[in-house]
Amino acid sequence: KVASTLAMATGKVRLLRINHDGKFRYSLPDDGLPEKQKACSAMGRDDNPAPQPEAIKLAASVTAAEASTDNVADLIQSIPSFTERRHDDVVIPTPRAISAEIRRTEAKLKRLKKCREISRQVHKPGNRALWQGLSTE
């Protein structure tokens, strides 16, 4: 299970697989690396033209079911309320955490409504001359 997770992460260049004296080490990608080295590390090799046998086995172990669960995982990770820091043992949020999320959402909604009202006032037909006067300066 760990090997397939690492293979998926290296395939998407989220992790780099680097070969040091026959031992593989995984690290986060560095933006300062040259593109060739990134590509070689992502393919599981370190300037070797032949692919490593482990890389071939790991790539074959990735199935369509894992790919579909990865899309769901990406979707969940993109939602901020699911990515907030929580204890590892807490799977279901507590009522207090849910209430706090509701309060934050309501406050954001209130700010957006206030912004909408200001936008409506600015875009009224009588106020367009003011708007055009500001843009010519």
Boundaries of domain holding 73: 2-81
Rounded to an integer, what distance in angstroms lies between the CA atom of residue 66 and that of residue 77? Answer: 16
- Identify which of 36, 47, 35, 45 has the alpha carbon closest to the alpha carbon of residue 10: 45
Examine residue 133 and state whether it is found in any structural domain, yes or no: no
Q: What is the reported pLDDT for 32?
A: 53
pLDDT in tens, the chain (137 residues): 667 777 777 777 777 888 888 888 877 777 655 554 545 544 554 444 444 444 444 444 444 445 555 666 676 666 665 555 655 554 688 899 999 999 999 999 999 999 999 888 888 877 766 666 666 55
Please give the mean pLDDT across all residues of the chain. Answer: 69
Q: Specify the pLDDT at position 106.
A: 96
| Mode of pairing for the β-strands spanning 16-20 and 23-27 | antiparallel
CB within 8 Å of 55: residues ≥ 6 apart: 7, 17, 43, 44, 45
For residues 6 and 26, the answer to whether their CB atoms sit within 8 Å is: yes
For the CA atoms of 114, 120, 123, 127, what is the dihedral angle to 10 degrees?
A: -90
Rounded CA separation 93/79 (Å) = 15
DSSP character at residue 123: T
CB–CB of 19/45 below 8 Å?
yes
The answer to whether residues 25 and 66 belong to one domain is: yes
Model pLDDT for residues 27-62, shown as the tens digit of each residue: 777 765 555 454 554 455 444 444 444 444 444 444
Question: Is 55 in the same domain as 120?
Answer: no
Q: Are residues 51 and 75 in the same domain?
A: yes
